Structure 1
Amino acid sequence: MKASDLAALPIAAGAALRQRRFFHPSGVLANGTIERLSPPHEGLPVESGNVVGRISKAVGLPGTLPDAAGLAWRMPPAPFAATPWDVLLVSAGFGSSALVPNRMALRAVTSWSEAVYSSLLPLRYEGELWWIRARMTTPVGGSGLSLHAVHQRINGDGLDFDIEQARGNGEFEPMASLRLTEVVPLNQQGEHDVSFDPVRHSAPEVQVWPEWLRNLRATAYRSSREGRDAES
């Protein structure tokens, strides 16, 4: 057994015990759209189109307790691509200077409005490293990280995010706008059918970097799916 498989055993066991995702077990899945704002061929190859997105809590703590907030979305496969493209972000410790170490620091928040979402790890594309971050621009009521309030907002006027990208240590610049407009109901098992995986599901030539962490994440996501007997 490889070291990465051994390290992922607790994740599989935890998912099996909970019969839910080990990571971000509580969330709201929704249909929506993404609109590219960056000029064509500038930065990551995100294109305008339909998406399915998910707003979530990392641990699933109740009430107003601090938790890490998650944002994920799935874009359709690019031309000649074998899989869709999943992007996963989580609230991070961005400071005013937005230094690279802060982009990698997970941060618990007490409200949706204070969360700045980060890819935590850069994406390698055409020989360069790119970061993604996002901010929710729609006010969401309720106390703490209320998923009920998110659900209501999406099915009401929709939920909007500004998506930005940065090359290496450079400044972040607008890349796209993301809008979620229709909540997807749970299946008969009370779960969502979409299992986001940014390692297995990516655009051509786009890879989570560095490789050793990419391999570890791949094993962790696979173990979480296997633990709860989920489809990819």
Structure 2
Amino acid sequence: MSTWPFDRRGSGQTIGVTLSDLTTLPLRAGAALRDKRFFHPTGVLCGGTVTRLAPEGEGLPLMSGDVVGRLSKGAGTPGALPDFAGLAWRMQGDADGAHPWDVLTVSSSSRVLLRPVVSWPAAQYSTLMPLGYRGGVYWLRARMRSTVVGGLSVEAIRDQIAGSPLEFVVEQAQGRGDFTTLATLTFDRELCGDEPGCDQPFDPTIRSGTEITLLPRWLTVFRRSAYRNSREGRGAE
């Protein structure tokens, strides 16, 4: 990707600035102004498990194990107001190795179109970007099986998880094929920020499993820069 010389604060030290850096710098400023994430600023951090249901070797290399997850509101609208619902989770490895794998999904009306929703169960959660794996192109999506009352409220998630687990069905599709069940995702407790695995923001552009890549690559570069500027804006790095 093209870079331009830039003098850092008049120090005479020249650094390279990419096009993706320039176009995502406003995200750093926005995160700094409100001192929180630019994307999905409000949410609940959860602990749980993922359980593979698809036959081993069929599709993506997701395997059963512990996860750290987060349910969030994309624009951070107050209370139970509609918003873009977000679901993220981190696995510590996959069937190919021990490289962490972050999955970020958001409410959508199809595989790539964002859609605001009025409640958590009403959302179809999609990765929005396909995943490349061993020459194939795959999509991931999830659906909540639990009942959560109270609209799209973060507090409703807290209340629900305090009483019973939150359950999701995770599905995969290869290319334009039909979605089939891949796994179940269960969150059974809220986590505090100082617990193991909670100190790193979710970022699938740098943690996407051992052999998995986000597609297309040019959009991955842009997205990586956007996440980085949002983290630096709120002092997370």
Q: Same fold (TM over 0.5)?
A: yes
Following the alignment from structure 2 to structure 1, what is the Cα–Cα distance between the partners of residues 222 and 49?
30
What amino acid sits opposite 1:18 in the alignment?
A: R
Cα deviation for residue 155 of structure 1 reads 2.1
1:183-213, CA deviations, whole angstroms, 9 ceiling, x for partnerless residues?
Answer: 01246xxxx6330000101111201100100
Could you say which residue in structure 2 is the equivalent of 1:148? 155
- 3-state SS of the aligned residue for 1:5? helix
> Aligned to 2:231, which of 192, 204, 225?
225
Q: Which has the larger radius of gyration?
A: 2
The answer for the alignment partner of 1:168 in structure 2 is 175
Number of the residue aligned with 1:114:
122
1:175-186 aligned at under 5 Å gives the runs 175-186=182-193
Question: For 1:45 and 1:175, how far apart are their aligned partners in 2?
Answer: 10
Tell me how far 1:15 sits from its aligned partner.
1.0
Contact 2:62 2:95 (C-alpha < 8 Å) held by counterparts: no
CA deviation after TM superposition for structure 1 residue 82, in Å: 6.5
TM-score between the two structures when normalised by the length of structure 1: 0.90
Q: Distance in 1 between matches of 2:103 and 2:127?
A: 8
Larger CA deviation: 27-36 vs 11-20: 11-20
Instruction: Give the letter aligned to residue 38 of structure 1.
Output: A
Determine the C-alpha separation between the residues in 2 that align with 1:145 and 1:80. Answer: 36
What displacement does 1:81 show?
A: 4.8
CA contact (8 A) 2:79 2:154 kept: no
Q: What do you get for the CA RMSD once the two structures are aligned? A: 1.5
Query: What are the ranges of 5 or more consecutive residues in structure 2 without an aligned counterpart?
Result: 1-16
1:149 partner letter: A
3-state SS, counterpart of residue 89 of structure 1: strand
Residue-pair matches, total: 218
Report what 1:211 is aligned to: 217
Q: TM-score by structure 2 length?
A: 0.88
Q: Equivalent residue for 1:42?
A: 58
TM-superposed CA distance for 1:79, in Å, is 7.2
| Mapped partners of 2:130, 2:69: distance in 1 | 20
Report percent identity of matched pairs: 52
2:157 and 2:80 map into 1 onto residues whose CA distance is 14
